[in-house]
């Protein structure tokens, strides 16, 4: 049967613009196909989004989307479905890594239920010894950690391997090198790095089309960084401690089952901190975030 006679294909939406969807075939090496949605489907599935796996067919070389496959996940910032990996990016230096900010990003990543890795970029600014030291601290907490430098391509191959076959979104505070990393992963992209001019800064009210960039067959990275406004307001105080992988061995042993590990007597986590089994710095990051969550929940139910 000729491809133009209604054979169904499956692909991934990599870009959506002006009512058209650009779809990469999942099963073949073919190029991106421009698709639109039939009126009938438009009523049942009003919002096909970037990342969606869709069924489509070709009619005179024009793609027609006929169905959207169930979404595994939906990320809100950027608005993409079926993301397989969040890449939480920090820098070794300039800006210096702030433990409580790292904890905050890692917790949001964990809470999103999407697998994630931690990347410390700008290794060139600190040298190997210092870079390894920081990475190992986070490895010991239980995270998967990579060090990179876009100056000398350090860590590029290892990072590409971690992304292979996945749809990834980079996230992290500004200035850590997310755009530079995208450029490193996909040379020729030419994304602007450095300070954004006020005109093009991505403020709260400016939306930007998100696009999946193809790194190789079945490997994609979003051209827009993920959440950088990082309120934890939706998290309940009691949900916080389990999101610290290095705390998990000590949870469930406190005197009170409702223990928030702050001022409660008989707290197994505090004991672990006193015995230096849990890093005090991580515990302090926890307390900072806990007090923020307590306040936001208190406001909610006032």
* Binding-site string for ligand GDP from residue 13 to residue 52, where x marks contact by CB under 6 A and - marks none: ----------------------------------------
Q: How far apart are CA 248 and CA 115, in angstroms?
A: 18
Contact between 150 and ligand GDP per CB under 6 A: yes
Number of residues that bind Zn ion (CB under 5 A): 5
Nearest approach in angstroms of CB 145 to ligand GDP is 15
Instruction: Give the list of residues 6+ apart from residue 53 with CB closer than 8 angstroms, or none.
Output: 10, 11, 12, 13, 26, 68, 69, 82
Query: What Å distances lie between residue 196 and 17, 209, 237, CA to CA?
Result: 24, 17, 36
Closest CB to ligand GDP: residue number: 177
DSSP state of 218: T
Q: How far apart are CA 159 and CA 152, in angstroms?
A: 14
**Contacting ligand GDP within 157-216 (CB under 6 A):** 174-180, 193-194
What is residue 126's three-state secondary structure?
coil
Nearest approach in angstroms of CB 264 to Zn ion is 6
Cβ proximity of 185 and 155 under 8 Å: no
**Contacting ligand GDP within 115-144 (CB under 6 A):** 121-122, 124-125
Number of residues that bind ligand GDP (CB under 6 A): 16
Q: Single out the residue of 179, 234, 168 nearest to residue 201, CA to CA.
A: 179
Whichever of 207 and 291 has its CB closer to ligand GDP, that residue is 207
Nearest approach in angstroms of CB 268 to Zn ion is 6
**Contacting Zn ion within 254-273 (CB under 5 A):** 254, 259, 261, 267, 269
Whichever of 15 and 178 has its CB closer to ligand GDP, that residue is 178
Whichever of 24 and 246 has its CB closer to Zn ion, that residue is 246
Cβ proximity of 138 and 192 under 8 Å: no
Q: How far apart are CA 126 and CA 277, in angstroms?
A: 28
Q: How far apart are CA 79 and CA 212, in angstroms?
A: 11
Residue 134 binds what, of ligand GDP, Zn ion, none (CB under 5 to 8 Å, by partner type)? none
Residues in touch with ligand GDP (CB under 6 A)? 121-122, 124-125, 149-151, 174-180, 193-194
Residues in touch with Zn ion (CB under 5 A)? 254, 259, 261, 267, 269
């Amino acid at each position: 049967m000729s491809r133009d006679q209604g054979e169904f294909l499956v692909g991934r939406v990599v870009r959506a613009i002006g009512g058209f969807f650009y779809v990469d075939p999942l099963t073949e090496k073919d190029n991106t196909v421009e698709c639109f949605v039939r009126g009938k489907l438009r009523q049942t599935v009003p919002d096909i989004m970037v990342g969606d796996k869709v069924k489509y067919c070709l009619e005179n070389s024009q793609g027609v989307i006929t169905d959207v496959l169930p979404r595994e996940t939906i990320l809100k910032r950027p608005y993409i479905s079926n993301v397989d990996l969040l890449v939480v990016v920090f820098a070794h230096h300039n800006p210096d890594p702030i433990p409580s900010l790292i904890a905050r990003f890692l917790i949001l990543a964990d809470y999103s239920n999407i697998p994630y890795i931690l990347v410390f970029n700008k290794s060139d600014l600190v040298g190997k010894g210092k870079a390894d030291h920081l990475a190992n601290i986070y490895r010991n907490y239980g995270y998967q950690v990579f060090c990179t430098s876009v100056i000398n391509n350090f860590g590029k191959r290892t990072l590409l391997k971690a992304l292979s076959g996945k749809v990834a979104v980079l996230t992290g505070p500004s200035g850590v090198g997310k755009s530079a990393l995208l450029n490193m992963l996909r040379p020729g992209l030419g994304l602007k790095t450095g300070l954004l001019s006020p005109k093009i800064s991505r403020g709260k009210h400016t939306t930007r089309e998100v696009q999946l960039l193809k790194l190789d067959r079945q490997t994609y990275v979003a051209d827009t960084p993920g959440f950088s406004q990082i309120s934890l307001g939706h998290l309940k105080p009691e949900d916080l401690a389990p999101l610290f992988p290095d705390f998990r061995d000590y949870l469930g042993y406190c005197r009170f089952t409702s223990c928030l590990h702050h001022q409660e007597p008989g707290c197994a986590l505090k004991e672990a901190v006193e015995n230096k089994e849990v890093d005090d710095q991580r515990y302090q990051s926890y307390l900072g975030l806990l007090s923020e969550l307590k306040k936001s929940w208190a406001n909610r139910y006032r």
